[in-house]
Amino acid sequence: MKKVSRLAIILLAALVYFTTVQVQLAFSKPSFPLQSQRGEGAQKINFGRHFQELGVEGSILIYDLKANRTYQHNPTRNATSFLPASTFKILNSLISLETRVIADEVAVLTWDGIKRDIKEWNRDLNMREAFKLSAVWFYQVLARRVGHERMQDFVTKVGYGNKKIGGEKDIDKFWLEGELRITPQEQIQFISRLYNEDLPFSKRTFSIVKDIMIVEQTPDYTIRAKTGLAQGTPQIGWYVGYLEKNKNVYYFAVNIDIRKDKDVAARKELMRRCFKELRVL
CA distance 57 to 52: 8
Indicate if 24 and 36 belong to the same structural domain: no
Indicate if 20 and 36 belong to the same structural domain: no
pLDDT at 149: 98
Active-site pick, 59, 86, 93, 192: 86
pLDDT at 40: 39
Indicate if 127 and 23 belong to the same structural domain: no
* CB-CB contact of 142 with 130 (8 Å): no
Indicate if 193 and 64 belong to the same structural domain: yes
Indicate if 60 and 16 belong to the same structural domain: no
CA distance 118 to 143: 20
pLDDT at 45: 85
**pLDDT digit string (tens) for the chain, length 281 residues:** 444 456 555 555 544 444 433 333 333 344 555 444 333 333 358 899 999 999 999 999 999 999 999 999 999 999 999 999 999 999 999 999 999 999 999 999 999 999 999 999 999 999 999 999 999 999 999 999 999 999 999 999 999 999 999 999 999 999 999 999 999 999 999 999 999 999 999 999 999 999 999 999 999 999 999 999 999 999 999 999 999 999 999 999 999 999 999 999 999 999 999 999 999 99
pLDDT at 43: 36
Q: Could you tell me the end-to-end alpha-carbon distance of the chain, in angstroms, rounded to an integer? A: 68
Indicate if 67 and 6 belong to the same structural domain: no
Q: What is the dihedral of CA 144, 148, 149, 151, to 10 degrees?
A: 70
Indicate if 69 and 173 belong to the same structural domain: yes
Indicate if 122 and 175 belong to the same structural domain: yes
Indicate if 81 and 205 belong to the same structural domain: yes
Indicate if 7 and 98 belong to the same structural domain: no
Indicate if 129 and 163 belong to the same structural domain: yes
What is the count of structural domains for the chain? 2
* CB-CB contact of 146 with 101 (8 Å): yes
Indicate if 24 and 161 belong to the same structural domain: no
pLDDT at 44: 54
Is 86 an annotated catalytic residue?
A: yes
The contacts of residue 23 (CB under 8 Å, 6+ apart) are none
What is the reported pTM? 0.86
pLDDT at 138: 98
Q: The domain containing residue 24 runs over which residues?
A: 1-30
CATH number for the domain that contains residue 115: 3.40.710.10
